[in-house]
Amino acid sequence: MFPELVVSRDRLAGNIRAIKAILDRSNIDAVAVTKGFCAHPLIAEVFTDNGINVLGDSRIQNLKKMRNLPGRRMLLRLPAPSEIDEVVEYADISLVSHYETARALSRCASKRGQTHSVIVMIDMGDMREGVYGASALYDALANIMSLPGIKLEGIGANFCCIGGALPTLEKMNELRRMKEVVEMEQGIFLQTVSGGNSSNLSLLLKQPNSSFYNQLRIGEAFLRGRETVDDQAIAGAHDDCFMIRAEIIERYSKPSAPSGSTGGTGFGKAPAFVNKGLRSRAICALGKLDIDDQQLFPIEEGIKVIGASSDHLVLDVEDCKSAPELGDVLSFKLGYASIMRSMLSPYVQKRIL
């Protein structure tokens, strides 16, 4: 049945080993971010089988799926007040930014006779989670470190998610200064500095000695074998661990631009087209419910993605050496958003090799 998502665990294992070797040279541990593949246990175990000791996800439902795998679990999204009990039950480590959240975790952990680790997040300009400014960080740490049932494991930052703020050398030095001031003024040692995500690999590859942090939370780079700032391939890694196959349900020669008056589509503004006359076009049984058509890369040379609606993927196949026909199956590499959507879609069959 199609569409079909094909996942190569062998190729994924190769990516893990290639990226882990880069991190090991700088004494950096990886948290494997599993939300991109919905924490499917058969895929998650590839990480634990290849030396990854912490699995991280933003959703409790996914942490539950991985509870029988070895290693620790990290909740990557800030804990919601309504889920504190489950956070303490299924996560070993949480990322926090509010003292009130840490206090709720403390109460729950103490009641259970457990110790729950927290990493205090700092907003370094990406406009997502974290305390803002050095003084807010110092106040938060001073309060949190005294809570019973809580281990202050360290500090962390995030980049390239909302604001597109890059993990530059200047940002890393700013984070380093915060760590040093905290340790000096509070008289503590921060065990973990979670310095970012897959976007940090770009600077790390260019300047291997640029890091002082000892942890990165990596998802996309593992899954796609590419760093995420310049989208460059990582040596020894693969960009086809996840591939989708879709069947052609129509193939005709048609105009390359719409006719008559046009307006917005069901997904926003009216798209722009260049009129190239009649072109050979194919439609696949695949759509925005299953993938992000902007992150879909045809394997066969000469195929161009024109666009997609909910259920139809439209392709220009005029320049294919061998013209595809009705019923043929085409294969595509996937960007991160397409991997996530295809894993989430109940309409996409999953084949894990």
Q: Are 203 and 173 in contact (CB under 8 A)?
A: no
Catalytic residue from among 20, 35, 288, 333: 35
Q: Are 286 and 292 in contact (CB under 8 A)?
A: no
Give which of 273, 280, 292 is closest to 334, Cα–Cα.
292
Main-chain phi, psi angles of 73, to 5 degrees:
-120, 135
HEC per residue, 94-161: EEECCHHHHHHHHHHHHHHCCCEEEEEEECCCCCCCCECCHHHHHHHHHHHCCCCCEEEEEEEECCCC
Q: Say whether the peptide bond before residue 3 is cis (omega within 30 degrees of 0).
A: yes
The helix (run of H) or strand (run of E) holding residue 73 is strand 72-75
The helix (run of H) or strand (run of E) holding residue 334 is strand 329-334
In order of 44, 83, 340, the CA distances from 197 in angstroms are 18, 25, 17
Known catalytic residue at 35: yes
Residues serving a catalytic function are: 35
